[in-house]
Chains A and B, each alone.
Chain A
Amino acid sequence: METVLPAEGLLGWSWLLIALPLAGAAVLLLGGRRTDRWGHLLGTATVAGAFLLAVLCTVRLADVEGRSVDVDLFTFISTGELDVRAGLLYDPLSAVFALLITGVGSLIHVYSIGYMAHDPARRRFFAYLNLFVAAMLLLVLGNSFVALYVGWEGVGLASYLLIAFWYTRPSAATAAKKAFIMNRVGDVGLALAIFVMFAQLGTTSYAGVFGSVGTLAGGTLTAIGLLLLLGACGKSGQFPLQAWLPDAMEGPTPVSALIHAATMVTAGVYLIARSAPIYDETPTARTVVLAVGAVTLLIGAIAGCAFDDIKKVLAYSTVSQIGYMFLAVGLGPAGYVAGLAHLLTHGFFKAGLFLGAGSVMHAMDDSVDMRRFGGLARKLPVTFVTFGLGYLALIGFPFLSGFYTKDAIIEAALDRDDAWGWILGGVAVLGAGLTAFYMTRLMLMTFFGRARWEPGVHPHESPSVMTVPMVVLSLGSIGAGFLLVKAFPLADWLEPVFGEEHEAAHVVAPLTVGLVVTGVMLVGVLAAWLFVGRREVPVTAPVRVSPVTRAARNALYADTINESLVMRPGQWLTRALVWVDNRGVDGAVNGLAAGLGGSSSRLGRTQTGFVRTYALSMLGGAVLVAGALLAVTSG
């Protein structure tokens, strides 16, 4: 890694990006009810301000030599050999993330003003959202793994608080706990990776670690790579830690859009992309990344086909799409740019889809059951159009966002030109078909067909404070792919991070790939129309279904596996430990205390109060002392 220039001028102020939303969160949390009336406006303003600053910083960055600056702030930890400086690294990679987070974040803050208008705790909601944005920005802007870790835990906390935002609902509280605990598993991996780095290299800064990657033994590198991957899997809901993400939909919908679709869950992809110099040296770990991506891609897509809860379908879709991104970054230099481009476009259209789902829920009295939707296209025209554009972008409809970025991933997979390449390419193409199927099913069940509404529900379009962000995001769904891949290639912008653009081998001609993927996508759409659109959708889910459907409805038994492999043994272990603690440890401690107390009273009897006894004990002591000394010297 070449030396990074210290930040000057405007870029030296880039820490304000984090400080603004953090200050917002602090004011809202500490200010209490006094801030109730204007809290949501402040919360939105801080994020919008951060977005503006991010745009200005990024424009400035384009002119800086090497397109990377280091913003040294202060000594964070200094103890012994460990000397962690708190600082930021503003480079092309962190810049695109900062733009995504603050840009989509601003839109979702605006949307939340309307969505949460009737919630008594709206101020608290905005405080947590601000906290999240600050932590997420720290995660992507930090210049060391420790800074990343602080942000990593910060977003975990914000995610926990927001999933459990309606903490009086037992399901929300449980989902939050589940998310938090499964994330812990991953976080331990990340922490261990950082420990190994420090133990082996004595540093945790990106520059220091990546600069001396070559000195590490292969096994150590693979261990670091796998531990980082574990962390990434936890945060990004990847196999085998994917089960928390769909449950996290218990949180308010803007949270699902911002945290559990557009930004936080992509932190794993960021981590792996950022650690490219490590993965470049360890093909084993990289292959595991690939495998995780491919498996998750399919699991998410299959589970997405079976659920009737609109947000759960979108959540499994997120799991599956992040699988695509993992697959891409697992491909190495050929895939980094493709994966990140997909991450960005996905950020737009998936956030748009969630906001659309929120708008539908808003219209349907917070119902999420698609079997009770139907025929909403005419009632919610703006939602329908924006949601429809997001849908087309997601399934990879030609010339919309997803088409460019997903195709790029599939091409990159096939370019490996070996058996793996064909398998991965095949999986990715199959995933595209499944995506088309479940999303078309979702569209048909929600917007078309006969209205199957609950009695008393009167759908109405959302207020403009909600629809405007949806419209803006749908513009991103249309154009972001073209912009990032063709007009202003992301590959050029990211060149300082990942090196020269990878020369594609084009094992299969891009046109062929495009045609095949589009063909498979159309098959998926057609299948959905055949299975769902043509027939009447029953209001209750059919019970007698094939084993495949049943497995998909159970999300391929991920919860069952987790419960039987981890939760139950954990509970048994806890019970056993409690027993040991009560009987064994407490018994030993109490016994010891009783023993000491007893010996204290017995010894106490020597304190008779008689001078003669005391004098005798002194004499005895003196004889012992003198005798012992004589024995020592003569012996």
Chain B
Amino acid sequence: MIEAPDLSLAALAPLLFVFGAACIGVLVEAFAPRDVRHPVQVAVALVGTGGGFASTLVYAATQDLSAGGEITAGGALAVDKAGLFLQATVAGLATLAMLLFAERGLDPARSAFVAAAAVPAGSPRDRELATATRVQTEVYPLALFAVGGMMVFVTANDLLIMFVALEVLSLPLYLISGLARRRRLLSQEAAVKYFLLGAFASAFFLYGLALVYGATGTIRLGEIRQAVGEDGGDVLVVLGLALLVVGLLFKASVAPFHSWTPDVYQGAPTPVTAFMAACTKVAAFGAILRLLYVAFGTEEWTWRPLIYGVAIVSMVLGAVLGLTQTDLKRMLAYSSIAHAGFLLTGVLGLGADGAGSGLAATMFYLLTYGLTTLGAFAVLTLVRDGDGEAGHLSQWAGLASRSPLTAAVMGLFLLALAGIPLTAGFTGKFAVFRAAIEEGAWPLVLVAVLASAVAAFFYLRVIVLMYFSPPAADGPTVGVPGIPTTVVLAVTASATLALGILPGAVLDLAERAAIFVG
């Protein structure tokens, strides 16, 4: 007889919201008539993600978290302060991403998603559907499952749960990456690449899991910590750690496991790219932090050189490769790789007995980066030509004279990505660099600052193009965003500014939330 595990419904409420909404979404897809499906799906998705976001806040506000949090679901989930902060970040950013999904005013065909994904690209039926205003609404439940997976991912207290969450978040992403309405082949190619490489990375993770289990006899993070602490750096454990980290670094698009990123970011529908760039990054780093800090916190000196090394490779590669990109989505993809490197500098700030400020700094950076990058991709959806979004750099020349507000908002996001003071990007970078320096990693910070300087070139180049170049003769049109995209732009832009000028309250919150249990 199997004993029923203890379940704290309050702690699980955020997950229940999101997964519940996802299940309802599937039912809606099956039973609701086609013409009401889209509004209903959007409503369900927003209630799911928004409810998930709200319930994490309610839980954090009402529960006594003096112990740091609680371990529930039979020890599978650790709903602690850091987990809640990350869950709230994922759910909040996902709410904004759902709004981007729901935008119907920009594409003449009323959606960024393909009308019927199963129809082969380029077939007569596909050409017929290209102008149809039918909408694929499966994206909403799929995205909700991914969000739920991410939220489990950042609170997983158990390697097996972590793996399941990884798959739950990944599989829907593979699918929705291939749902672009325009340039369908590119999108499908991206989805296949993402799937193949994702599966490859999952295998690494799974192998690492097996090795660690073999060495320690447990899959609970806390128990691994104890076992490792007693035995020291067993070869199996070290190898397992390496493979686990590889699996997670892939999701976080850290070089040298980044190669999927540019292709997938470019191919996926832009709202999906925005969703991935913001939420997947948060989830992956949440898991990296939890794995390294909780399960291998005593082995800091084993994984430190590894993180140090990949951080440098990621920052340098992302910054240098970004220089020659001519497509804005690819450029932002390399930017994402470089930012993954910056985030890893924060991960180094574990400190003796976990007293360092690395966790708080990294979580704060994830929030700022998520908001900014989401906003930047949202702007990309506005600038269009006859063939969909105008992603080529040359098409953005002189945009400021055509649409000053769009150019100004994009400029703000680019400055934030470059880490210019008075934007959220600066405070975030400052926080992680400080955390790393406190741990004596100043050479790494030096490299990071140099890489930032290199990366600033390609961000500023876009601003120079927008403001100081004559507009192209057959330039793109700037679409008038509907309410959903307007809300996203307003929220992300004002948050980017607010967190740059008055970051105190949120930094403080991140610092107070920087506790893992397990």
Contacts and interface: CB of A to CB of B under 8 A. Distances in A.
A615 B305 contact: no
B305 A632 contact: yes
A188 B317 CA distance: 46
A622 B204 contact: yes
B200 interface: yes
Interface in B257-279: 257, 259-260, 262-263
B303 interface: yes
Interface in B308-325: 309-310, 317, 320-324
Interface stretch (B4-12, B126-134, B232-240, B421-429): B232-240
Given A615-B196, A629-B238, A621 B262 contact: no
B303 A629 contact: yes
Question: For the complex, would chain A's binding face be called helix, strand, loop or mixed by DSSP majority?
Answer: helix
Contact of B256 (A593, A618, A634): A618
Nearest to A626: B242
Given A615-B200, A629-B239, A629-B303, A621 B320 contact: no
A625 B192 CA distance: 26
Contact of B263 (A593, A606, A609, A629): A609
Nearest to A595: B320
B516 interface: no
A547 interface: no
A633 B321 contact: no
A625 B263 contact: no
B506 interface: no
Contacts of A622: 204, 242-243, 246, 257
Instruction: Give the interface centre of B243, B255, B320, B454 by most chain A CB atoms within 10 Å.
Output: B320
Given A614-B197, A618-B256, A599 B320 contact: yes
B468 to A, nearest CB: 18
A464 B317 CA distance: 80
Given A607-B262, A618-B259, A621-B257, A630 B238 contact: yes
Contacts of A633: 233, 235, 238, 302
Contacts of B192: 611
Nearest to A634: B235
A9 interface: no
A184 to B, nearest CB: 29
Contacts of B257: 618, 621-622
B306 interface: yes
A629 B250 contact: no
B99 interface: no
B323 A600 contact: yes
B235 A630 contact: yes
A628 to B, nearest CB: 6
Contacts of B104: none
Contacts of A620: 256
A620 B255 CA distance: 12
Interface in A119-174: none
A621 B256 contact: yes
B341 to A, nearest CB: 14
A604 B302 contact: no
Interface string B188-205: 000011001100110010
A625 B320 contact: no
B457 to A, nearest CB: 8
A603 B258 CA distance: 13
B328 interface: no
Given A607-B259, A611-B196, A625 B235 contact: no
Instruction: Give the interface centre of A600, A601, A628 by most chain B CB atoms within 10 Å.
Output: A600
Contacts of A489: none
B242 A600 contact: no
Contacts of B241: 629
Contact of A596 (B238, B243, B262, B323): B323
B245 interface: yes
A282 B64 CA distance: 67
A554 interface: no
Given A596-B320, A600-B324, A618-B250, A625 B200 contact: no
Given A611-B193, A625-B306, A618 B454 contact: no
A617 B238 CA distance: 21
A611 B197 contact: yes
B259 A625 contact: no
Contact of B306 (A597, A601, A629): A629
A611 B197 CA distance: 7
Contacts of B250: 618
A606 B204 CA distance: 22
Contact of A604 (B239, B305, B321): B321
Instruction: Give the interface centre of A603, A611, A634 by most chain B CB atoms within 10 Å.
Output: A611
Contacts of A618: 197, 200-201, 246, 250, 256-257, 259
A582 interface: no
A562 interface: no
B260 A628 contact: no
A630 B239 contact: yes
A617 B235 CA distance: 24
A613 interface: yes
Contacts of B454: 596
B241 to A, nearest CB: 7
Contacts of B323: 596-597, 600
Contacts of A614: 193, 197, 259-260
A607 B242 contact: no
Contacts of B305: 628-629, 632
A258 to B, nearest CB: 43
B235 A615 contact: no
A604 B324 contact: yes
Interface string B23-43: 000000000000000000000
Contacts of B303: 629
A634 B260 CA distance: 33
A616 to B, nearest CB: 9
A594 to B, nearest CB: 11
B235 A603 contact: no
Contacts of B233: 633
Contacts of A628: 305-306, 309
Instruction: Give the interface centre of B306, B323, B457 by most chain A CB atoms within 10 Å.
Output: B323
A597 B242 CA distance: 33
A390 B259 CA distance: 88
Nearest to B320: A600
B175 to A, nearest CB: 17
Interface string B290-304: 000000000000110
A617 B324 contact: no
A626 B256 contact: no
A621 B323 CA distance: 23
A127 B164 CA distance: 76
Instruction: Give the interface centre of B242, B260, B317 by most chain A CB atoms within 10 Å.
Output: B242
Contacts of A615: 196-197, 200
B324 A626 contact: no
A617 B246 contact: no
Nearest to A622: B246
A378 B141 CA distance: 105
B487 to A, nearest CB: 35
A611 B256 CA distance: 14
Interface string B82-110: 00000000000000000000000000000
Given A626-B243, A628-B306, A597 B256 contact: no
Given A609-B263, A618-B259, A625-B242, A601 B235 contact: no
Contacts of A626: 239, 242-243, 246
Enumerate the 7 nearest inter-chain pairs by beta-carbon distance, A residue then B residue, closest first: A621-B256, A614-B259, A626-B242, A600-B324, A600-B323, A633-B233, A629-B242
Given A618-B197, A632-B305, 4 more contacts: A600-B322, A601-B324, A618-B250, A633-B238
Interface of B: 192-193, 196-197, 200-201, 204, 233, 235, 238-239, 241-243, 245-246, 250, 255-257, 259-260, 262-263, 302-303, 305-306, 309-310, 317, 320-324, 454, 457
10 contacts: A596-B320, A600-B320, A600-B321, A600-B323, A615-B200, A626-B246, A628-B305, A629-B239, A630-B238, A634-B235
